[in-house]
Each structure stands twice: as structure tokens, then as C-alpha cells.
Structure 1
């Protein structure tokens, strides 16, 4: 099984789906981490080129923890836009990975790079199958399942699927820990440390799902994505009306 994770920034994949990726890795899946932007504004002390080089290396290290292949799209941080060029780069990434399952940002996430990258994935994944859309790699031959990842503090996000990450949480922490430049950046900008930022949401989603720690997702329902079966590791499915019924 090929699994593609698409994140707007270096460290997004590890933060919002690192446990799920680690579980897939244990099952022998072939993993791809596609990072849309180069993180070149993610420092208050380093210049754009310098921090971009650091974050590229950190992204390589994070992916290497679970033997994922890194696909680096290299768009400017905080300026990802939906354009012809952008879509072609995303389509090429899809064709490189040839995924059975794709994870991306929720289209109502707080950061425009997040929401735009999620929207491009959701709207363009089928285009990877179209022969007359030319990129370097050959077209895909199947339409993968697409899942949206959780948001910071769960804002504007109602999960329908959970993955139990209790047994792999420390691996997730190890992956995020490769992004050392962002630990100080997050403390400076937002006043929190990364381990707490990972632990509290995992415990909260675990409480909802009935396990110690979990990551939360929503399937993307479009033509051709019927979800007769889910292909998530340690999958805990909750009906769409679960949370409303238990308020």
C-alpha cells in the first residue's frame, strides 16, 4: 500500500498525522511526505534562505524516522496560491506517490497555506489520472481515498474517524523533534512547547475515541470515494452524528 501525506509546511505532517504515519510504517506501507512550502519565514532570527535550508534538512530527518520518501514542492511559506503551476506540481507529486490513501489539511483550517493545500488535494487528486494533463511522471491508474487531518485546537473540525496512536506516540514525538528550529519559534510566537502541543490534542481525541491517545480525521466524500472500507491502521470509526448525540 502507498500512502501519501500532504502538509503545507515542514512539520505539519508529523504534527497532525505522525502517529498514523508511524502505524502505517509498522505495517510495511510505502510512505510519502509531500511538503508544499519551504518554511522560509519560520524564524525570527534567520534569513529566508538560511531557514529554508534548515527546514528542508529537518523535513528529511522527520521523514527518515519512519523511512518515508520526501517530496519537496518548494513554494514560499505563507504565500501558497491556487494556480496552474501549483496544481501541476501537486499532480506530479500524486503521480510520484501513486497513493492508495492520501492525507491532507482540512479546507477550513486556520492557516491559508493549510486550507489551500487541502483544497488543491481534494479538487485535483483525480486529475493525476488524466493522460492529457502532462507532467514528468505517468498518470495514476486509480483514485485514492482522501482524509482530512485535524486542526489546531480542533477548530472548525468535527472528526468522523480516529486512529489509536497510543503505542506510537513516542515515535510521533521523535518525528516532530527533528524540527528543532520550530521549537524555539513556537515558544516565541505562540508561547507553548511542542511536546505539550502534541500531547494535549492526542489525549483529547483519545478521550473522544475511547483510547489513551488518538489522531482525528474526516473522509472526503466525492464521486468515486465511497469508503465501503477504510484503510487506516488502528481505525476507530465514529458515525457523523456521534458527537451531536452525546452533547
Structure 2
């Protein structure tokens, strides 16, 4: 079987996330780098984010959050979509899977970043399951009534970091891939700042007093893992059918400092 090229001819990236601000928190810097490198970038929120308010009703909350997601995506020339599944009540069933496959079919990504299948939030875990399933099957002609776009294929697939770099049980995640986002951190912060409605929600419900600071601190912590100012971490899905070469590392090789001996860096390049 011929080996796939490290960078596909069709350069379309999809961040397949659970909620409207998840991409900005977990992979916004990488999306910026992809867009700067000539990739077409799409952000999908599987849920409408309709539970993300302490004051507004679900319809108004969903409307606000769609506008915030659109504004954040437009900052980097990306396109925002939502599948409008219910926030906090996402399930893996035929309807949610078919909606996922259909939007994959319309976008035809060759690189997908989705959420970890072990994380503090069940919506994140189910989104990861949906993203994995849709990635594998979307290019099959009979999987959707949507037309097959030329260049559709099983994409490179990555899972984002868990909250605070941990899985659902509080165990540390071991990344396979790091992307240096030192030069993109300020724009990533501007993207996340578009989600103004989440300031009070995260403070009241999650106990996060300053979500911009929390995001920056975790990005900087991951940066120390590779000897840079800021980074994002991923785990690549390398199961049968998916390409096994690390396209993110091929696109964005790390220029780490010579004195860095962090074990995570060593594991990444082993």
C-alpha cells in the first residue's frame, strides 16, 4: 500500500468540539497556525451551548453563543458551525452520529482535531466518540446523502488535551504531539475573549474566576514541556485506517531550547 504524504494535497482542517468555546481553549493556537499556513479552517460545536448561562433561557443563550463562536472564528478567517445538540445532554446515538457524518461530508476535512474520550465533561467524551466515528466513515459513499467532495479521505485525527492536562480520573495525559503557539497566544486570547458570556458562567458553575488567565496559564505550562513560551498538546489517533505519520509535527517542527530535558519532550520525539 502506498505511503500517504506527510501533508495532504487537500488542506482542510476541522476542529470538532463539544461547546462553542472549546476550540479556543484547547486548540486555538494550532488553528491559527494552520490558517497562516494556507489551510481552510472550520470549527464545529456539536452542542448549541444552551446551558452556558446562569440568567438567560436556552434559546437566547444558544443565540448568544452562536454569535460569539462566529466572531471568534472570523478573527482568523475560519468558519463556525453548530449541530445544535442539547448542551449537557449530548448522547451518542444514530441522530447525532448522522449529523456529524453529514457535516464532515460537507467540509471534507483531511485533518481533524476533536476532544479527548476521557475528560471531566461527558459532552467532551461523546464529542470525541462522534469525531472518531465520523472521521473514519464520512468518505464512504453510502454513509450520507450529502455528495462526496473530491479529496475526501480518512483524515489525520488528533484528540485535544484534557482539562489541566488530565483525564476524567485526574491522571496526567501523555501527549504524542506538541505545537508551539508562542507567537499565536495573543490572538488565541482574543479569540477566547469573544466568548464574553462565559465569564460569569465559568465563575459561578466551574469555579474558574478568570477564564482567559486559566487558558494562558495552561498554554504556558505546556510550553515549559517543550522549552517554549506556550504550546498546545495532543494525542494522535493512529488506529487502523488513519494515517500514522504526525502531520502536525511535520507542519510545525518544534524549535526547542537546547537545555530542555523535559520528559514529555523526550517522549514526543522518541
**Which TM-score band (shorter chain)?**
over 0.9
Could you say what secondary structure the match of 1:218 adopts?
strand
Tell me by how many angstroms 1:229 deviates.
4.4
Tell me by how many angstroms 1:69 deviates.
1.3
Deviates more, 1:118-127 or 1:77-86: 118-127
User: What is the rounded CA distance, in whole Å, between the counterparts of 1:127 and 1:205 in structure 2?
Assistant: 32
Q: How many residue pairs get matched?
A: 244
User: What is the rounded CA distance, in whole Å, between the counterparts of 1:236 and 1:116 in structure 2?
Assistant: 31
**What's the C-alpha RMSD, in Å, of the aligned pairs?**
2.1
Deviations along 1:77-111, whole A, 9 cap, x unmatched? 01111111111111011112211110000100111
Taking structure 1 as the reference length, what is the TM-score of the superposition?
A: 0.92
Partner of 1:152: 163
Distance 1:117-1:168 versus aligned 2 partners, 3 A rule? same
Tell me by how many angstroms 1:245 deviates.
7.6
Distance 1:153-1:90 versus aligned 2 partners, 3 A rule? same
Q: Which runs of 5+ in 1 are unaligned?
A: none
User: What is the rounded CA distance, in whole Å, between the counterparts of 2:255 and 2:108 in structure 1?
Assistant: 25
Distance 1:119-1:235 versus aligned 2 partners, 3 A rule? farther
Tell me by how many angstroms 1:196 deviates.
1.2
Matched, 1:179 2:190: no
Deviations along 1:209-237, whole A, 9 cap, x unmatched? 11110000010011122423424542449
Taking structure 2 as the reference length, what is the TM-score of the superposition?
A: 0.85
Partner of 2:139: 129
